[in-house]
Amino acid sequence: MTDMPPSYGARLHQLAEERPSEVAVIFAAEAGGETQHTRAELDDRSTQLARVLARRGVGVGDHVAIQLRNSVEFLVGCFAGWKLGATVIPVRWDLPDWEAGRVRAVARPKVVLAPDTLALIAEAERESTDPFEFATSPVAQGICSSGATGTPKVILRKVPAVWPPEARSTMLIQEQSRPLQTLAQRTLVCGPMYHTNGFTALSDLLSGFSVILMERFSGARAVDLIERYRPTGMVAATPLLQRIAQVPDVRSRDFSSFEWVLQGASVLPPWVAETWFELVGPERMFLLYGSTEGAGIVALTGEEYRRHPGSIGRGFAGTQVKILDPDGQELPPNEVGEIYTRPGDGVLLHEYLGDVAQTPVTPDGFTTVGDLGWLDEDGWLYLADRRVDMIKSGGANVFPAEVEVALSDHPAIRDVAVVGLGDPEWGKRVHAIVEPYDPAAPPDRAEVIAYAKARLAPYKVPKTVELVERIPRSEAGKVSRSALIAEREGATG
């Protein structure tokens, strides 16, 4: 009889028994300084907390919400939930009470670990560290999202918490026939763990890797940590890679420890890509496009990106891709439509919690999350933008992401967000919100528009430009265009 794979809790305990004194986590606090934490500590503390949660009724199939900043307590909370067979749901730590309440109403957690419930962790310090019979979560995790509608939802991946799980951070490298012994043994976790990218820290720990966990991202701090602790891998969204690329002396810093850097979540501007190719080599860069829903993976290497600049890849691990028009008809190459994907095994392993519309699925099993793009003649996929973010200006379709990429290379622009604002002449006018590198010497509005005119078709050029001190991005690097529009509607620019 084949041995059943261990549960997440059992796997953590196994590693702790094999390597109790090995440092599993280097935690970099936002205020400065780092602390080190062993595998035995993670195992013992999560067992103690599991006992406390069990007394509060947490059991197999229940939901445990983790609403904490990146921290060792976040990790301990996840493993404690898994040891009891619960589904772990990370929640943004900085949500206002009203919005947090809406998310909790959808997630329906038995227990919430948040700053106001940290007494549970203090209580756990008095508990026994003796292991018990760890349960297996039938659904390992859920990820919160408001998607395009602003309605809170939780996306459950219907995969049990048993090891080995799908190792996203190593799949692409293995496919490229890189020897397995070169895979990362220490990963830098610079994004928030409530996001899919940051949550891979848990998989890394179960893989036997160690992690360098940043409480909060800073480009300069990330570079310092890379040089000091020599990570061999990193998963990061485009805005975080861009901030590191903007560190003034980045090209003179030492990134030689990296075996791979995995990018995801949005289009990678060419100048950001080339900076990272200089830092780590295109053969060590991997670009990934997917969704929390697990509807398939599109990927390419840095070397392939150079041959197909701007592409987000081709179907990976059997994933199929097609572009459909609003009537569900497949479009020919180079025509923009909605991106539909089907995973290699054809199985969609997700379920939504919340009063939300389900992901559209075609009769042959392709699904979409609302992104628009096109395929070229050779099957390389290019991302245009989110369907809901597209600007209809003067009868033409303008994709904000394309305008942002065009403007992001301006030497005086640190960050930029593009939205469509109501306009009596154009219907919607293209409006650029610009964060300058130097607030004391911002780019002239006319200069920004001229820069855009040199790179974009006339109808895509911003009609108005606004200078702000800072673009309000989440820790994951995302910006809510709908919120930006709501703040500005009626403005004249």
pLDDT tens column, 413-444: 999 999 989 887 777 899 999 999 898 999 99
Q: Where are the chain's structural domains?
A: 8-375, 390-488
Which residues have C-beta within 8 Å of that of residue 146, sequence separation ≥ 6? 152, 153
Average pLDDT over residues 46-58: 97
> What DSSP designation does 459 have?
G
| Cα–Cα distance for residue pair 207/12, rounded to 1 Å | 9
| Cα–Cα distance for residue pair 128/93, rounded to 1 Å | 29
Task: For 343-412, list the strands marked E by DSSP.
Answer: 350-353, 371-375, 381-386, 391-393, 396-398
Q: Can you tell me whether residue 142 is helix, strand or coil?
A: strand
Which residues have C-beta within 8 Å of that of residue 318, sequence separation ≥ 6? 343, 344, 345
More confident residue, 448 or 389: 448
Is the pLDDT confidence value at 169 over 80? no
Is the pLDDT confidence value at 203 over 60? yes
DSSP letters for 296-315: -EEEEEHHHHHHSTT--BEE
Burial of 272 (0-12, 13-18, 19+ CB in 10 A): buried
Is the pLDDT confidence value at 408 over 80? yes
More confident residue, 475 or 170: 475
- Its pTM stands at 0.81
Residue 367 β-bridge partners: 341, 361
Q: How confident is the model at residue 177 (pLDDT cuts 50, 70, 90)?
A: very low
Is the pLDDT confidence value at 492 over 50? no
Which residues have C-beta within 8 Å of that of residue 392, sequence separation ≥ 6? 398, 420, 427, 428
The pair of structure tokens assigned to 237 is 């969204």
Fold entry, domain 390-488? GMP Synthetase; Chain A, domain 3 (3.30.300)
The pair of structure tokens assigned to 245 is 């690329």
> What DSSP designation does 265 have?
S
Which residues have C-beta within 8 Å of that of residue 350, sequence separation ≥ 6? 155, 156, 157, 158, 292, 293, 294, 295, 359
DSSP letters for 128-140: ----------SS-
Is the pLDDT confidence value at 49 over 90? yes
- Residue 59 half-sphere exposure, CB side, CA atoms within 13 Å? 2
Q: How confident is the model at residue 213 (pLDDT cuts 50, 70, 90)?
A: very high
Which stretches of 56-188 are DSSP H helices? 72-83, 97-107, 119-124, 168-175
Is the pLDDT confidence value at 391 over 90? no
Q: In terms of DSSP bridges, do strands 186-189 and 63-66 run parallel, antiparallel, or are they unpaired?
A: unpaired
Which residues have C-beta within 8 Å of that of residue 83, sequence separation ≥ 6? 7, 8, 9, 12, 46, 47, 50, 132, 134, 135
Whether the CB-CB separation of 207 and 184 falls below 8 Å is answered with no
For 356-390, write each residue's pLDDT tens digit. 556 678 888 888 878 889 999 999 999 886 677 77
Give the number of other CB atoms < 10 A from CB of residue 483.
12
For 216-275, write each residue's pLDDT tens digit. 999 999 999 999 999 999 999 888 998 999 999 999 999 999 999 998 767 788 889 999
Q: Which of 413, 420, 422 minimizes the C-alpha distance to 471?
A: 413
Average pLDDT over residues 61-75: 97
Q: Can you tell me whether residue 116 is helix, strand or coil?
A: helix
For 125-164, write each residue's pLDDT tens digit. 999 999 999 999 999 999 887 554 456 788 898 889 998 7
| Cα–Cα distance for residue pair 366/316, rounded to 1 Å | 15
Q: Which of 248, 265, 381, 397 minimizes the C-alpha distance to 323?
A: 381
Q: Which of 192, 187, 291, 260 minimizes the C-alpha distance to 229?
A: 187
Q: The domain at 8-375 falls in which architecture?
A: 3-Layer(aba) Sandwich (3.40)
Is the pLDDT confidence value at 348 over 80? no
Q: Which of 209, 217, 200, 150 minimizes the C-alpha distance to 182?
A: 209
Give the number of other CB atoms < 10 A from CB of residue 444.
11
